[in-house]
Structure 1
């Protein structure tokens, strides 16, 4: 009996051909493949006749751990070709690795993660010896472009060298011991016929050693512990998700290129890559001439000859294209010289080259593939594409809203809310959604199926994942989502966590967001399903009091207005307005805090303005003379930041209190040109708190005040940006000053 151990690189066309050829040649009794052993009784499902790329998605949940991972297959995956060739040869097929949920794979998002990081020193030495940039170029140089003769022997030498004396960690040790047990059992049950074992090259040396002695009975497949849920389903996958340049954990980069290599060989792959790059660039109206194309191909051929390749390899073609199509200096390293996502600032031509390498193929499951209950539950009620308008005043509208919010929380593509209630808004009872078709919807629903059998259960599980370790801001987001999704049991748990977090919070902005959320839920309990919650009222009160206490201690000089800080003061205002008497909030104490902040020169300008606005709105009038208060607080250098706080909290009071708008116009007009130019961005931000109707009212009053026949609409529709106009005026003034100094103008 012979056991053939084939160590491979995942998603390698050369290894995929070799695996299929070996299985077809030896016609083994068993084909053993690195993969999740708990899928063995579903091998027929895996080989139904899908169109790769596809993947096995596994979701795992227990009280202490949640994990999701993938086992992907494409046409040129050695595991895939070995299984299909084994089925054709009549062999028994087995996955022999631990299930994806097992603790030994807890840190693995993708099972077929190549092991270069484990033997980086050996890989770096080989890269230096062969004068290539990285392990991907090294692999192409040694195996993908070279003839197939002796490939198995060369792979064995390569992986033996890389593994060397490397000590495997405890997770790899556990996996290798389990896989070796399967090998021993298959060898014992093969009745003298061959056995073929296909695993990642890193594991091959250990498996050869471990397979010699030990238990030869069939190993048991581990089962999830009590209280845990583990579900696995086949999902359509895509080349984009496979690609290392999109951040894929491991595997071959540029799956589109390797698909061409699989289908057309090295010469055809290079030609098709050039065509794909040119097509993408021309589709984006980038000029690529025939001369550019000839230059790129000539450069690729010359580089291949210089590097000892019979045909241009992937990096030869890419280097040739970059040399021919990118004329200016490139600030960042070429992405194919390393592994990982594209860096910010990559040249547009380089971005299109990487996209062409990646390809746009998306897999398709066979129509008889079993799908999780969640998919059927959602597709039965999702409805046709189009816009939906929901009346949240009716139970049917609220129930439909909860379903769509659950899908939003699950990350289902093509489900977008375009408008609706928000913590900062009023009691809006209309919600609008846009439903569109998406190729990514089915994979997303299948993967979400690991969380539950229906949208409510799945959304609750996803939200529960967000709770551990969440800060105050994140907890507020979970609370709002739980309420919108109608997950009542989670709402109570998160409220308890929030109540504890509020007492130790030190971030005024986070407190403000939390207060806005809990206040909205307290005010509109029928809408959010939180009517009569005493805990919610207690959190509103504690958050408002904590926010005021923190606000009084904030110190700092001139700085850009902090919008989150301003929003926190607005949330306090709303809490005092709408819940003060019902929840026993001390309005007089709050007014005292606001007056002290507004008068404190050490407090930031935006906070002083917000405090003045808070006191103004709560009293219904400014303390004392409003004009005197405004004039005393207005400092040109920080005027925009101070006004941002004031307008955010007391916009209507400023607009409708006699003489205040005119006073502000006087103060702004009196600013020196340089001061005005510096303050202009902050002033624009401040006046942005007024909606268009009120800005038109301001323009009407100002044009009436100044006269000159200017229309308010003309004032609001400048052809140039105000900053540009102000800069031009400043430049004119400096030019006039220079001319006067030289006596050229009076």
Structure 2
């Protein structure tokens, strides 16, 4: 059981029944027809205080055990009807006993399901588990009923202190190879009871069988329908079916279930001593036979003896419908949480209301859907249900009708309905009075102060760091990222590339509450926790790149108390690391940190000294490091070359350093022992900075493309010179001399070497814009005569020779107006 585990009844692999009479009898007993003619376990008279005014006799011999399917609206309605009929003195619910103190919060109007009980280990908050409740969960309905009627509520499942401690034991998990033998000496099989009963009843879809038997029992087409004459009858029938299944496939099915059921029986005995037999139990239907079977206290305690235990804390956290879905990995998941919520919340005409919701969603997506479509879809769904012998149209009928009528037979818009309605993105809410770790309380306070509400749906957030509130939001998101709480992911903004803007994509997941609890070991506030974790990471990191990235995070998160520790660790790692590749990886992060420090008014003097020292060491060590590399090593060094070049341009007061760096690039550009891709890139970087005349660039290209150079080496030089850099294609478009050199070289490549050169050139030129490729192709097609004579006079880098002074002077009045402004 790890972070994100959800506990109630994990999934059980469907097993085909062996055709035994017990399985078929169980399915028959659970069918609607069988339920109609059966006798009730005991007559149910009008409860005391009802209009009948007749004192009710407890309807069963012993406690009333109501077996349910977790998150089933039919089970929820049946539980509510049963509790209204019998009025128990106490209610026991399957769930962790540590949650007993949290039960009163369920009556708070600020508590909006879906919600979950989160239990985590105090010493290891990452070891956690969830117990989710939706508005249509039988357990939630029972708890709310009990709170309204002042009936004590207790959770009786195995305590989270035991289950979290035992999670590391493989035999405690859900693996099917950990099953125990049945009475016949055969291995018991872990099953999905609903799937087995559905298959025995002749259904190929367990959800459709459950809808027919439970969800649509006694319902009329208008959605209401009379209540069953005996509200306890469905539970009696389902209990008999589960007993038959357990007898057929083995008692309990899994050691974990046996331990849990032993604890439930012990808690049930305790409740009977206090309240007598007038106790109602709401639990998974699979456990009903175990709770009603005879067992001794000694035997139950023997199963619990020796279990490990950890100290735990519990709280309520918001949950989502999407996390209740089976495809999310939740053990007790259902296929359609949104559909089930609709069935439970719609008092009448659920089909018509559902079709109306679907039509509204399609209209919002700019699809044409009219009222006539809704009427026809309702009629078609009802007709399909009648043809298929179903009491009411279910999810499959509504989906087929929507696809045919509203979606014109297409599955594309239907997937929108399945995602937004059938599953849904509903996020619950929890009151502020719910217990929480101090870090969570500080984070909640920051949410309100910064007006940054956690939301399930992903949204984009644009921040302007010149504004105080946006700067504070940025600091919070960076601090959370350092703590491992990935609420937001920084992306490249569309509107601006300035350093004063940031773009974030925000999405709050329920598992983030576990990460908050886990990060609580670092401090009680977001600031202190991020500071402590940054300092700890700085001391434990061994790689220079890790420390430089951490320094950048500290500046972005504005952690002044952590920065001295990080800077000391950075200086120590930089002094000991002699690998030029590591230094080249570290420098860009430092340069970005200095750049952001200027924007955020952060003191980065110490960081600048370290960055300058790294740049000096790179200038000394890079030329020897580029010698004797293979193709892969040269490609990686080319990337380092680009990153270092950009970083040196960002460093403050880098004029002298820039001259020295230009000298390094010149040595690389002319050194024959350096791979062509590096020499070509060095020449291109010099040309872009105006430090290499065009004649010299043409001379270097001519040398690289000379007949004495192997074609593959020449192609690598071209890739380094014009590939993978902004404006590489435009350089060839405007400088006909360079294009002519490339054209002449390519035309002279021998036939036997052309197949080796072609893949490299295709990769180089395929990165250009389509318009640039088209222009280059047109220039090559026309030939040298159409392009005109080669220009001899040097011009601006990347452009034709000569300068039109009259056209250049025309822009001066506009520039003067912009710069002077109103002055």
Q: TM-score, normalised by structure 1?
A: 0.65
Q: Secondary structure at the match of 1:66?
A: coil
Instruction: Tell me the CA shift for residue 11 of structure 1.
Output: 1.2
Partners of 2:576 and 2:254 in 1: CA distance = 43
Q: Output aligned runs, 1:72-151, within 5 Å.
A: 72-98=132-158, 102-103=163-164, 119-120=190-191, 125-130=196-201, 132-147=203-218, 150-151=233-234
Does the alignment pair 1:352 with 2:428?
A: no
| Contact persistence 1:104–1:171 (CA under 8 A) | no
Does the alignment pair 1:517 with 2:592?
A: no
Instruction: Tell me the CA shift for residue 80 of structure 1.
Output: 0.8
Bigger mean CA deviation after superposition, 441-450 or 95-104: 441-450
Instruction: Tell me the CA shift for residue 288 of structure 1.
Output: 3.4
| Contact persistence 1:260–1:269 (CA under 8 A) | yes
Instruction: Tell me the CA shift for residue 378 of structure 1.
Output: 0.7
**Alpha-carbon deviations, 1:272-319, whole Å to 9, x = none?**
222211221122222335665455334422332243321111222212
Instruction: Tell me the CA shift for residue 73 of structure 1.
Output: 2.2
Instruction: Tell me the CA shift for residue 92 of structure 1.
Output: 1.6
Residue in structure 2 matched with residue 187 of structure 1 by the alignment = 272
Residue in structure 2 matched with residue 682 of structure 1 by the alignment = 767
Residue in structure 2 matched with residue 374 of structure 1 by the alignment = 442
- Seen in structure 2, the aligned counterparts of structure 1 residues 383 and 294 have a Cα distance that, compared at 3 Å, is closer
Partners of 1:255 and 1:470 in 2: CA distance = 47
**Alpha-carbon deviations, 1:73-100, whole Å to 9, x = none?**
2221111111122234433211233565
Does the alignment pair 1:23 with 2:83?
A: yes
Residue in structure 2 matched with residue 629 of structure 1 by the alignment = 700
**Alpha-carbon deviations, 1:185-204, whole Å to 9, x = none?**
223332x2322222233444
Instruction: Tell me the CA shift for residue 243 of structure 1.
Output: 4.0
Q: Which runs of 5+ in 1 are unaligned?
A: 331-346, 689-696, 710-746
| Contact persistence 2:120–2:128 (CA under 8 A) | yes
**Alpha-carbon deviations, 1:43-97, whole Å to 9, x = none?**
2223223453142353746776614543332221111111122234433211233
Q: Output aligned runs, 1:72-471, within 5 Å.
A: 72-98=132-158, 102-103=163-164, 119-120=190-191, 125-130=196-201, 132-147=203-218, 150-160=233-243, 164-165=249-250, 172=257, 174-190=259-275, 192-208=276-292, 212-214=296-298, 225=310, 232-244=314-326, 250-264=332-346, 268-288=349-369, 292-293=373-374, 295-327=376-408, 347-359=412-424, 361-365=426-430, 372-379=440-447, 381-382=449-450, 389-390=464-465, 402-406=475-479, 431-432=500-501, 448=516, 451-452=519-520, 453-457=524-528, 459=530
**Alpha-carbon deviations, 1:417-463, whole Å to 9, x = none?**
8879x9xx9xx8x5346899x99799978984674442224556998
| Contact persistence 1:24–1:86 (CA under 8 A) | no
Instruction: Tell me the CA shift for residue 680 of structure 1.
Output: 4.6
Partners of 2:663 and 2:475 in 1: CA distance = 40
Residue in structure 2 matched with residue 740 of structure 1 by the alignment = none
| Contact persistence 1:449–1:458 (CA under 8 A) | no
Instruction: Tell me the CA shift for residue 503 of structure 1.
Output: 11
Pairwise CA RMSD = 6.3
Q: Secondary structure at the match of 1:79?
A: helix
Q: Secondary structure at the match of 1:682?
A: coil
Partners of 1:479 and 1:44 in 2: CA distance = 46
Q: Secondary structure at the match of 1:32?
A: strand
How many aligned positions are there? Answer: 649
Instruction: Tell me the CA shift for residue 502 of structure 1.
Output: 14
| Contact persistence 2:89–2:278 (CA under 8 A) | yes
Partners of 2:142 and 2:476 in 1: CA distance = 43
Partners of 2:118 and 2:257 in 1: CA distance = 19
Bigger mean CA deviation after superposition, 319-328 or 14-23: 319-328
Residue in structure 2 matched with residue 5 of structure 1 by the alignment = 65
Residue in structure 2 matched with residue 344 of structure 1 by the alignment = none
**Alpha-carbon deviations, 1:198-251, whole Å to 9, x = none?**
22334444445586424999x99x99857xxx6544344443444446676642
Q: Which runs of 5+ in 2 are unaligned?
A: 1-60, 180-188, 219-227, 454-460, 748-753, 774-794, 808-823
- Seen in structure 2, the aligned counterparts of structure 1 residues 69 and 569 have a Cα distance that, compared at 3 Å, is farther
- Seen in structure 2, the aligned counterparts of structure 1 residues 460 and 173 have a Cα distance that, compared at 3 Å, is farther
Q: Secondary structure at the match of 1:49?
A: coil
**Alpha-carbon deviations, 1:87-131, whole Å to 9, x = none?**
3443321123356575258599xxxx9x9x984576655554455
Bigger mean CA deviation after superposition, 84-93 or 524-533: 524-533
| Contact persistence 2:113–2:428 (CA under 8 A) | yes
Pick the structure with greater CA Rg.
2
Partners of 1:123 and 1:498 in 2: CA distance = 63
